[in-house]
Amino acid sequence: DAMVIQNPRYQVTQFGKPVTLSCSQTLNHNVMYWYQQKSSQAPKLLFHYYDKDFNNEADTPDNFQSRRPNTSFCFLDIRSPGLGDAAMYLCAAATAALPYNEQFFGPGTRLTVL
Amino acid sequence: AQSVTQLDSHVSVSEGTPVLLRCNYSSSYSPSLFWYVQHPNKGLQLLLKYTSAATLVKGINGFEAEFKKSETSFHLTKPSAHMSDAAEYFCVVSDRNTGGFKTIFGAGTRLFVKA
């Protein structure tokens, strides 16, 4: 089945130690999103890629970076994680070929910062 | 300006009784509207979507929603709640703009189902 895959499902890192979260999709969709979701809150968009074009949300901290080496893969890099960065990180994919923005979500990576 | 309001942060129902989760939106254009469900420690799963076709939309697991433009509402309903329906539900509005899409999530409604 076509899907969005996130690895790992659970990630533990130390305060200030760089961490990378991975996302891949078999949908061949040209748009990919990264969201941060804290407990009992809605997902908050960090940034998205439209093909190779990177689109950062205005309030996304510089500590968060992303790479998209090809259509299938997208990475979220947190350069110096703080305690406040502990959250669920969700990746999603969508196609711009449709007149509506249906996003397909991965299962998420829960990040713990010690 | 685009916005979405989920009118209840928590809804509690008994198993076998109807479910109503309320969502109001504002949009300058002709929006697409979605309901997603999220079980604990899981990703978001699409329940149903409105994309300017039929105003009564049927989704998975017996859920449906009706797009009412005059009331700017897109409430989610289910005739009979099941224990497995207990989860967080998000109403989402999306408009096409010059840069692609602008998508806004509601704050979420947590559904509790009592035995």
Contact flag B42-A45 (C-beta cutoff 8 Å): no
Amino acid making up residue A40 = S
Contacts of B107 in chain A (CB under 8 A): 41-42
pLDDT value at residue B96: 77
What was the pLDDT predicted at B90? Answer: 97
Q: Return the pLDDT at A104.
A: 94
Provide the pLDDT for residue B53: 77
Q: DSSP secondary-structure letter at B61?
A: G
Q: Can you tell me the distance from the alpha carbon of B50 to that of B69, in angstroms, rounded to the nearest whole number?
A: 12
Q: Does B93 touch chain A (CB under 8 A)?
A: no
Low-confidence stretches of chain B (pLDDT beneath 70): 98-99
Q: Is the pLDDT of residue A70 over 90?
A: yes
How close are the terminal C-alpha atoms of chain B, in Å? 41
Task: Out of A54-63, A95-104, B64-73, pick the least confident.
Answer: A95-104
Residue showing tokens 């990378």: A20
Please tell me which of the candidates B34, B42, B106 has its beta carbon nearest to residue A102: B34
Verify whether the Cβ–Cβ distance A90 to B43 is below 8 Å: yes
pLDDT at B98: 66
B94 vs A80 pLDDT, higher one:
A80
Q: What is the pLDDT of residue B27?
A: 84
Contact B96, B36 (CB under 8 A): no
Q: Of the candidates A99, A102, A106, which has its C-beta nearest B43's C-beta?
A: A106
Q: Do B45 and A105 touch (CB under 8 A)?
A: yes
Q: What is the pLDDT of residue A1?
A: 67
Contact B43 A100 (CB under 8 A): no
What mean pLDDT is predicted for residues A68-97? 95
Return the pLDDT at A2: 63
Residue of A nearest to B6 (CA): A42
DSSP structure class, residue A61? -
Q: What pLDDT does A29 receive?
A: 93
A40 Cβ under 8 Å from any chain B Cβ: yes
| Mean pLDDT computed over A4-33 | 95
Which of B32, B42, B44 has its CB closest to that of A100? B32
Residue recorded with tokens 């899409």: B101
Only one residue has tokens 């895959």, namely A5
Structure tokens at A50: 């439209």
Is there a contact between A100 and B105 if contact means CB atoms under 8 Å apart? Answer: no
